[in-house]
Each structure stands twice: as C-alpha cells, then as structure tokens.
Structure 1
Amino acid sequence: MGSRSNARKRAVDILYEADLRGVDAVTLLSERVGSPEVAPIGEYAVTLVEGISANQQRIDEVLTEHAEGWTLSRMPPVDRSVLRLGLYELLFSDDVPSAVAIDQSVELVKALSTDDSPRFVNGVLGRIAGIRSRLRKSVRTEPVAGDGQGQ
C-alpha cells in the first residue's frame, strides 16, 4: 500500500472514531499527532482530516443531495467517513484525479465495511464525479476555512 493510500486509511480511522464518539475530528487528530502510544500520522492524513473538517458542511450537503435514497445518519459510519474523504478529494484536491479518488475510496470500503458498500460508494462518488467541474466551481467561490479569503 502506497503512502497516500496509508494516509487515507489513517484519515478514515480518525474520521470514523470522531464520528462514533461525537467529537471533533481535528481535536481527535491533535490528540493523536505526536502521541507515543499511536503510530505516526503522516502529513497527507493531517491534510485530509483538516480539509474534510473545514469543509464538512458542504461535503455533507453534496453527499445528501447525491446519495439517492440515503440520509447521512442512515449510512454506516465507516461508509460515511470514506465518502467524505472521497468527496473531499474530488472537490478540493487539485492533484487527485477523479478515478483515483473513487478507486481509493472503493478499496478502503472493501476492506472496512459491508459487501454492499463498495457498489454504494462507487455509485455515489461516480455520480458526483460526473458533475465534478460544476461542483468545484461552486465550492471554489465560497470561502473555505483557513484559505485567507474573506478575512
């Protein structure tokens, strides 16, 4: 598994735990970074968790709109975490091609969730990838936390 793949897995672990515990993912991340009891957390995992957290409202709006027949609360927590990661890479990561974001998300959910989850994640992210450029324009016009716009 490549370093970015490992970082994605670490990010999903943190997002999933934060979701289950009802705590802020960035706070949980800060508790884990540098802790001697936890394996090191790479820079890309930190970028993912911070980026997803900063844009979670918009990410969740897009997921809700495109997860046909599913509400966020009805999704298995691991699927929700993987979808947030995949959607973040689709909409906010300039250096991640759509196919890579989808494939990596599907591989994660294959390893971590139910037999039905890979098809579900692939379908949701595939629908969103089809309108990626339109969605990217809409999220790029809104200020993103920490980007220096509107401050």
Structure 2
Amino acid sequence: MTRRSRGREVALQVLYQLEQNSGVMTADVRRFIDRRLLRDRPLVEFTTGLIEGVRQNQPQIDEAIKQVAENWRLDRMAAIDRNILRLGAFEILLGSDVPAKVAINEALELAKRYSTAQSSRFVNGILDKVLQLQAPASRSGAEPESEPDVAAETQPGPESSPTTAGEGPAA
C-alpha cells in the first residue's frame, strides 16, 4: 500500500466515524490521524486535506453522486460505500493533484477492502459517471496511471477496520 493509499484509508475511517458519531471532537480526530499515520507530517496534511475537503464540499459532492446514482438514494447506500464515493468524487471533481483514474482506482481498492464483494463494481460505476459530469475542458487527454510523488513504501503497523475497538477517534 502506498503512503497516499494509507492516507485515504485513514480519511475513509474518519469520514465514516464522523458520519456515525457527529459528536466526535476535533482533537480526538487529530490524535487518531496522527497515531494511524505515525505522525508523518506530509501524509497527515494530505489526509486532513481530504477529510476537510469532503466535509466542506459535501453538499456539492452528494449532489453529483445523486445525479448519477440511478435508482439509488444516498441515504439507502451502505454508509461505507457512501463515504468511499464521497472521497472518490471529491478527488475527481475538486482535487487538483490526482488524476481521475487514480482516484477511481483508489476508491475501488477501499471498496474491496472495507465493503462487500459487489461494492467495487457499484463504486466504479458511480465514480465513472461522476467523472463524466466534469466539463471536457477540465480533463486532460492523457492522464498518468499513477500519482505524482507517491512513495511505494507501505506504512508499518497493524491494520484495522474503522470500527476496531480502541483505535477509533471516539476511543
């Protein structure tokens, strides 16, 4: 797992936790992020930027997802899938340094890891349609297959799900 992939994973965990428990304190969230990312300052900033970007733009992101999610209401989607979609849609629509194909691929990996077997196909279909919402002028013709300056290193330490006891922001 790349460093940024790990950052996205932690961002997803925080977004999920905040949706399930809106009373989580900002200081608790910050400690959780620091602990999970081993206080790697650039990675913490990347992850925090994802979380803040999704939260600040959530109405716009949710509207884009609603537009393309045929026969699916946002509130009827699994919470984890909804947050994976928000994270991916944020990077596609509002992120500036990540190619759309990379954002979709990263979301698919999160869906495979944290959701059901069918979720990756669902997420792929929705995010592909979100990508099509973008004005053609805002997309470059040839996108690189990987992110710029992504380290191939993995983060050491145990892996856990967003609801692992003692690891979440509310712990």
What's the TM-score once normalised by structure 1's chain length? 0.80
2:122 corresponds to: 120
| Structure number with higher helix proportion | 1
Higher relative contact order (CA 8 A, sep 6+): 2
Bigger Rg, structure 1 or 2: 2
Q: Give me the whole-angstrom Cα distance separating, in 2, the residues matched to 1:117 and 1:76.
A: 9
Calculate the aligned-residue CA RMSD, in Å: 2.5
Gaps of 5+ in 2: 139-171
Q: Tell me the number of residue pairs that the alignment of Structure 1 and Structure 2 aligns.
A: 134
Tell me, yes or no, if the aligned pair for 2:10 and 2:33 is still in contact at 8 Å: no
For residues 32 and 135 of structure 1, do their structure 2 counterparts lie closer, same or farther at Cα, with a shift above 3 Å needed? Answer: farther
CA distance 1:135–1:78, shift in 2 (3 Å): farther
Give the 5 Å matches for 1:132-147.
132-133=134-135
5+ long unaligned stretches in structure 1: 137-151
Shift of 1:125: 0.3
Q: State the AA in 2 paired with 1:114.
A: T
**Residues 70-118 of structure 1 deviation map (CA, whole Å, 9 limit, x = unaligned):** 1111000000000000000001111111100100000000000011100
Deviations 1:9-54 (A, max 9, x none): 0000000111112x17xx6554221469943461111000001111
CA distance in 2, matches of 1:11, 1:91: 17
TM-score under structure 2 length normalisation: 0.71
